[in-house]
């Protein structure tokens, strides 16, 4: 039998219960137990999943090799620090922490104790995105919309750190160039913090990303459009649909093309547009993410989003948020 990782979940609220539930079904993972500072919630989830509820984080840490930290963002530094200092691998839900200093502190500590930090930027595991893994993504321009109805959960941080950070992480994974300039603005509607935000990020290589995020929308939307030379891609992360439009030269009009230019290009060929809808596998992004974490702890895979990537996304998010605050003053 292959090695099993003894794991615990800290924080079994809205999302943590799903972590715990998936971890009972992932081979190589042995869910030893849970800990939640809300004892009533801990007991409820312990009964529901038939898993031990530990009376303290320390006692849980004495029984595991690794943990999933699914507590509110404001607690991530303190909770992760205790786990790492005990030599435990940590999966930290996004955003990694609420400040870049805290993220750097955890990364330094994890290096010292030789443990993995993985950060829960779940969209990297969205099957609609994974369906595009054969494409060479090199965007000139990215347009993103992420909207959600208002809920009090997640409002311990502004919308940029709650929702927009998902898209910032994706964009940084697509564009490997330093950020050059950021323009951003936003408004508060339901909280004392920023609830709707728009940011335009310009990268050193000339690429631009325009992101709109709102947590005060009637309907949920999670869409990204990627424009690059000879390629246009749309991803609907909620519906699980990707669409690809490729421009190619053809010597004759191809009946499969959805558009043809009347003019012949410099290569002596007609420019034509071809449409594809890649097959999207029906996988669960959270389960795939946790499998990646368990395999990373086993040394079989690299974490898709490590502490450094989590910190990079947070750094850009905080710069965007600071620009919004500057604009509001
Ligand atoms: P939640 O409020 O529903 O649950 C948090 C749980 O943590 C609660 O049960 C609370 O009692 C417990 N808790 C608080 N402090 C604790 C501590 N010090 N030790 C142990 N337990 C503690 O919150 P949520 O919506 O599940 O969010 C949790 C984290 O997950 C946040 O960082 C959030 O940003 C992130 N999140 C990520 C996604 C995603 O798409 N990846 C979605 C939702 C939430």
> Can you say how many angstroms the Cα of residue 300 is from the centroid of all Cα atoms in its chain?
21
CA 79–ligand 1 middle distance (angstroms)? 12
pLDDT number for residue 2: 64
Are 303 and 285 within 8 A, CB to CB?
A: no
* Contact between residue 194 and residue 187 where contact means Cβ atoms under 8 Å apart: yes
pTM for the predicted model, two decimal places: 0.95
Give yes or no for residue 316 CB within 6 A of ligand 1.
Answer: no
Does ligand 1 lie within 6 Å of residue 54's CB atom? Answer: no
Q: Where are the beta strands (DSSP E) in 14-74?
A: 29-35, 66-69
Paired with 242 in beta bridges are 235
Identify the pLDDT of residue 329.
86
Pairing of strands 5-10, 66-69: parallel
What's the full length of the chain, in residues? 329
User: What is the 298 CA–ligand 1 centroid distance (Å)?
Assistant: 26
Average pLDDT, the chain: 95
Rounded distance from Cα 93 to ligand 1 centre (Å): 8
Q: Which atom of ligand 1 is nearest to the CA of 161?
A: 34
pLDDT tens for residues 64-87? 999 999 999 999 999 999 999 999
Residue 14 CA: distances (Å) to CA of 26, 44, 71:
20, 13, 10
pLDDT higher than threshold 50 for residue 1: no
Taking each helix axis from N to C terminus, what angle separates 76-85 and 100-113, rounded to the nearest 10 degrees? 10
List of residues 6+ apart from 78 with CB closer than 8 A: none
Percent of the chain at pLDDT exceeding 70: 99
Distance between Cα 13 and ligand 1 center (Å): 6
Residue-wise pLDDT for 153-197, tens only, equals 778 789 999 999 999 999 999 999 999 999 999 999 998 899 999
Give φ, ψ of 192 to 5 degrees: -80, 0
Residue 265 is predicted with a pLDDT of: 72
């Amino acid at each position: 039998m292959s090695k099993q990782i003894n794991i615990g979940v800290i924080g079994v609220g809205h999302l943590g219960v799903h972590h715990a539930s998936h971890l009972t079904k992932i081979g190589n993972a042995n869910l030893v137990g849970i800990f939640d500072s809300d004892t009533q919630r801990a007991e409820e989830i312990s009964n529901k999943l038939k898993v031990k509820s530990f009376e303290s984080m320390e006692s849980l840490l004495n029984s595991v090799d690794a943990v999933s930290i699914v507590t509110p963002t404001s607690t991530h530094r303190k909770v992760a620090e205790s786990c790492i200092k005990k030599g435990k691998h940590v999966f930290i839900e996004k955003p990694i922490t609420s400040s870049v200093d805290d993220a750097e502190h955890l990364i330094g500590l994890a290096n010292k104790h030789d443990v993995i930090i993985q950060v829960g930027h779940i969209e990297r595991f969205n099957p609609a995105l994974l369906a595009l893994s054969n494409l060479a993504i090199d965007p000139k321009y990215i347009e993103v919309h992420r909207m959600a109805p208002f809920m009090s959960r997640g409002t311990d941080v502004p919308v940029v750190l709650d929702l927009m950070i998902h898209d910032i992480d994706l964009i940084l994974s697509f564009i490997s160039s330093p950020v050059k300039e950021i323009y951003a603005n936003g408004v508060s509607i339901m909280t004392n913090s920023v609830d709707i935000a728009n940011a335009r990020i310009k990268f050193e290589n000339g690429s631009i990303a325009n992101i709109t995020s709102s947590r005060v929308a009637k309907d949920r939307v999670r869409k990204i459009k990627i424009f690059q030379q000879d390629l246009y891609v749309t991803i609907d992360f909620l519906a699980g649909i990707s669409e690809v439009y490729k421009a190619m030269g053809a010597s004759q009009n191809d009946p499969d093309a959805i558009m043809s230019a009347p003019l012949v290009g410099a290569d002596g060929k007609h420019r034509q547009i071809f449409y594809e809808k890649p097959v999207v596998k029906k996988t669960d992004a959270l389960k795939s993410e946790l499998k990646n974490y368990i395999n990373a702890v086993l040394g079989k895979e690299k974490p898709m989003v490590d502490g450094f990537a989590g910190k990079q996304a947070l750094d850009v998010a905080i710069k965007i948020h600071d620009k919004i605050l500057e604009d509001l003053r």
